[in-house]
Amino acid sequence: MKYLCLVYLDEARLDELPDAECVAYDREIRGSGHCLASEALQPVHTATTVRIRDGRLGITDGPFAETKEQLAGFYMIEAHDLDQAIELASRIPPARVGSIEIRPVRPIRETVAAAEALGR
């Protein structure tokens, strides 16, 4: 089962986490086969938010929501169940200064494909 681990932290505390340590864990989790994708993000001041309202494109500077902790990166992982996902997420270095939100991936393509197959 796929889980997206969203890494949130207060960007003011970013320097408490050496890049080398984050990359070391990234290598480890990729080596274990549990990591499908992972990236660190540029700071939140670089964010642009896009939405369509009444058929018109709206573009605003900044993130979707202003929060004390900002989205700083993500890991897309493959884990057997939530306990394994928690174990993998708890070792992401920013867990020490920020928080990791674990979200199970909804198998939307599979659900639609199965519905189409039944409909035929």
Partner 1 sequence: MDPDSTARITDTIERIYRGESRRVLSTLIRLLGDFELAEEALHEAFRAALEQWPRDGLPANPRAWLVSAGRFRAIDAIRRNARFSALEELEAHGHEIAAEEHGSRDEDIEDDRLRLIFTCCHPALAADAQVALTLREVCGLSTEEIAQAFLTPVPTLAQRIVRAKGKIRDSRIPYQVPPPEALPERLDSVLRVIYLVFNEGYSASSGETLTRHDLCTEAIRLARLLGGLLPEAEVDGLLALMLLHEARRSTRSTADGELILLEDQDRSRWDRARIAEACSLVEQALASRRYGPYCLQAAIAAVTAEAPSFAETDWHEIIGLYDALLRLAPSPVVELNRAVAVAMRDGPADALALVDALLARGELRDYRFAHAARADLCRRLGRKAEAGDAYRRALALSRQGPEQRFLARRLSELER
Q: How far apart are CA 68 and CA 72, in angstroms?
A: 12
Contact window for partner 1 (CB under 8 A) among 14-22, 24-32, 56-64, 107-115: 107-115
Q: How far apart are CA 47 and CA 33, in angstroms?
A: 31
108 forms part of the interface with partner 1 (CB under 8 A) = no
| Rounded least distance, CB 65 to partner 1, Å | 22
Which of 16, 64, 81, 96 touches partner 1 by CB under 8 A?
81
| Rounded least distance, CB 114 to partner 1, Å | 5
111 forms part of the interface with partner 1 (CB under 8 A) = yes
Which of 54, 55, 83, 120 touches partner 1 by CB under 8 A?
83
Picking from 101, 79, 100, the residue whose alpha carbon sits closest to that of residue 35 is: 79
118 forms part of the interface with partner 1 (CB under 8 A) = yes
| Binding residues with partner 1: total (CB under 8 A) | 15
| Rounded least distance, CB 51 to partner 1, Å | 27
- The Cα-based distances of 64 to 27, 43, 55, 104 in angstroms read 30, 14, 19, 21
